[in-house]
């Protein structure tokens, strides 16, 4: 079951967004539990509780006290995998999407058409990611690694070292072989020795890729332009 939060300081709008969510969940046959907040501070208090978890957040950006952008920044340490859909009158906020890993922006001027589509896409992606994993099978060993937990993969001699949010797993295969087996658009080569999961990249700076956990990886000159284009294409689909 998906757990979804809706945050908007205007109760009527928040309830309308809840209604759209309920309609999409019913249409797609997905079970979901929706909680509505009209005060972003209350949402933050709940998320700071270890027992609270949300898969998806629908939030206004222009809110008093704590804006949607500030809310996303504060939430990420607690729920790094949460998908966020922002509803806004100012699409220029999208320039900050890359750093905050926002899934989609919905202009208020086109909310009736764009919000249901954004929710459908988010729900589909969450369900796919829950099911997708990379399996390591070797003599006396079987390991399933959730795709979404993979930060990057690096060449380690004759092995590929899969670095995840939970540690490192090694498989005796080439990087290209692992890349082909994962077969996911979120993964790109940034160097002959590194594959990175796009959803974990914070920024590209000085020929390096900076990940959410602070890891800094080299981006080769031969890959730099392609990497930038792939990132722009990937995140460009959010708007």
**CATH code: domain of residue 197:** 2.40.50.1020
The mean pLDDT value for 71-84 works out to 86
Residue that terminates a domain, selected from 101, 130, 159? 130
Enclosing domain of residue 121: 2-130
Instruction: Domain count for the chain, please give it.
Output: 2
The mean pLDDT value for 189-211 works out to 90
- What is the DSSP annotation of 63-113? -SSS-HHHHHHHHTTT-TT-EEEEEES-GGGGGGHHHHT--EEEEGGGHHH
Q: Which residues does 140 contact at the CB level (< 8 Å), separation at least 6? A: none
Query: 197 and 189 in contact (C-beta within 8 Å)?
Result: no
* Domain CATH number, residue 45: 3.40.50.2300
The mean pLDDT value for 76-93 works out to 80
Average pLDDT in the chain: 87
Of 62 and 35, the one with more pLDDT: 35
Record the tokens describing residue 37, joined without a space. Answer: 């907040």
Record the tokens describing residue 238, joined without a space. Answer: 């959010």
Residue that terminates a domain, selected from 130, 162, 184? 130
pLDDT at 50: 65
Q: Which residues does 70 contact at the CB level (< 8 Å), separation at least 6? A: none
Q: Tell me: do 72 and 88 sit in the same domain.
A: yes
Q: Tell me: do 170 and 138 sit in the same domain.
A: yes
Tell me the pLDDT band of 65, cut-offs 50, 70 and 90. Answer: confident
pTM for the full model? 0.66
Please check the confidence at residue 14 and state whether its pLDDT lies above 60.
yes
Query: 144 and 171 in contact (C-beta within 8 Å)?
Result: no
Q: Tell me: do 137 and 124 sit in the same domain.
A: no
Residue that terminates a domain, selected from 130, 158, 193? 130
Q: Tell me: do 145 and 36 sit in the same domain.
A: no
SS3 content of the chain, % helix, strand, coil (to 5): 40, 35, 25
């Amino acid at each position: 079951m998906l757990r979804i939060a809706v945050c908007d300081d205007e109760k009527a709008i928040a309830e309308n967004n809840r209604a759209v969510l309920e309609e999409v969940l019913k249409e797609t046959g997905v079970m979901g539990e929706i909680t509505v907040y009209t005060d972003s501070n209350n949402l933050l208090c709940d998320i700071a509780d270890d027992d609270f978890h949300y898969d998806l957040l629908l939030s206004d950006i222009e809110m008093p006290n704590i804006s949607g952008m500030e809310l996303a920044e504060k939430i990420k340490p607690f729920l790094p995998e949460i998908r966020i859909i922002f509803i806004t009158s100012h699409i220029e906020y999208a320039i900050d999407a890359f750093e905050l890993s926002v899934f989609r922006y919905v202009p208020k001027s086109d909310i009736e058409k764009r919000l249901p589509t954004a929710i459908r896409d988010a729900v589909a992606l969450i369900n796919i990611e829950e099911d997708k994993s990379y399996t390591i099978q070797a003599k006396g060993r079987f390991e399933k690694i959730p795709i979404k937990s993979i930060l990057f993969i690096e060449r380690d001699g004759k092995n590929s070292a899969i670095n995840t949010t939970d540690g490192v797993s090694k498989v005796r295969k080439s990087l290209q072989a692992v890349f082909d087996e994962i077969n996911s658009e979120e993964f790109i080569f940034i160097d002959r020795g590194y594959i990175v999961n796009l959803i974990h990249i914070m920024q590209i700076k000085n020929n390096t890729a900076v990940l959410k956990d602070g890891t800094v990886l080299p981006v080769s000159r031969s890959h730099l332009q392609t990497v930038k284009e792939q990132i722009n294409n990937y995140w460009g689909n959010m708007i």
